[in-house]
C-alpha cells in the first residue's frame, strides 16, 4: 500500500534551514493566530509613543494650571487692596481722646475728655463729663458726671 518511503527535508546549509524555520513560524502564526513577534514590537513602540504623548499633554495641563493659579493670585491681591471692612469707615479720632460711634452718640459734648460712646444716643447729653464709657443704644443718655460705665440699651 505504501511504496514510498517518507521524505525528509534536506538543507544544503544551516542558513537555509533557519530561513525555512522562520518562514514556518510565520505561517504557524498566521494559521494559529498566534501573536506575531514583529507586531508585538510595533505594539511596544506604539505604547512608548503614546506614553510620551501623554507626558507632554500632562506638562501642558500642568502649565495651564500654574498659569490659572497665578492669575487667581494676582487678581486676589489686586482686589484685596480695595477691600474695606466697613463703608463708610467708623468715626473716631475726635479731639480730647473721644470716640463716638452711632447716631447722635456724644452729640452735646463740648470740653469732656476721654469719653467713649458706642450706640445710638449713647452719652447724648454729656457736655463736660470726663472718662465715661457707654455701650448700647441710649446708654448713659442723661449723664452729666465723670467716670461712669454703662453697658446695654438705656443703661443708667
The residue segments making up the domain with residue 20 are 14-80
pLDDT in tens, the chain (156 residues): 455 544 455 556 655 655 666 665 555 554 555 555 556 666 778 888 888 888 888 777 778 888 888 899 888 887 776 665 555 555 666 788 888 888 888 888 888 899 999 999 999 999 899 999 999 999 998 998 999 999 998 888
Residue 127 lies in a domain: yes
Same domain, 154 and 102: yes
Q: Choose the final residue of a domain: 60, 80, 100.
A: 80
Does 125 map to a domain? yes
Burial class from Cβ neighbours inside 10 Å (0-12, 13-18, 19+) for residue 30 reads exposed
Q: Say yes or no: 95 and 44 in one domain.
A: no
Number of domains in the chain: 2
46 located within any domain: yes
In a domain, 2, yes or no: no
Question: Is the Cβ–Cβ distance between 73 and 87 less than 8 Å?
Answer: no
**Secondary structure of 42-83 in the HEC alphabet?**
HHHHHHHHHHHHHHHHHHHHHHHHHHHHHHHHHHHHHHHCCC
Within this chain, do residues 94 and 71 fall inside the same structural domain, yes or no? no
Amino acid at each position: 500500500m505504501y511504496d514510498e518511503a517518507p521524505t525528509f527535508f534536506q538543507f544544503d546549509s544551516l542558513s537555509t534551514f533557519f530561513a525555512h524555520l522562520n518562514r514556518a513560524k510565520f505561517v504557524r502564526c498566521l494559521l494559529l493566530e498566534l501573536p506575531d513577534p514583529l507586531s508585538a514590537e510595533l505594539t511596544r513602540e506604539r505604547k512608548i509613543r503614546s506614553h510620551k504623548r501623554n507626558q507632554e499633554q500632562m506638562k501642558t495641563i500642568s502649565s495651564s494650571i500654574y498659569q490659572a493659579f497665578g492669575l487667581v493670585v494676582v487678581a486676589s491681591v489686586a482686589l484685596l487692596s480695595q477691600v474695606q471692612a466697613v463703608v463708610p469707615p467708623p468715626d473716631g479720632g475726635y479731639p480730647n481722646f473721644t470716640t463716638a460711634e452711632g447716631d447722635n452718640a456724644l452729640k452735646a459734648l463740648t470740653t469732656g475728655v476721654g469719653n467713649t460712646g458706642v450706640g445710638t444716643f449713647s452719652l447724648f447729653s454729656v457736655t463736660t463729663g470726663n472718662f465715661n464709657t457707654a455701650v448700647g443704644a441710649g446708654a448713659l443718655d442723661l449723664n452729666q458726671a465723670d467716670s461712669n460705665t454703662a453697658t446695654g440699651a438705656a443703661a443708667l
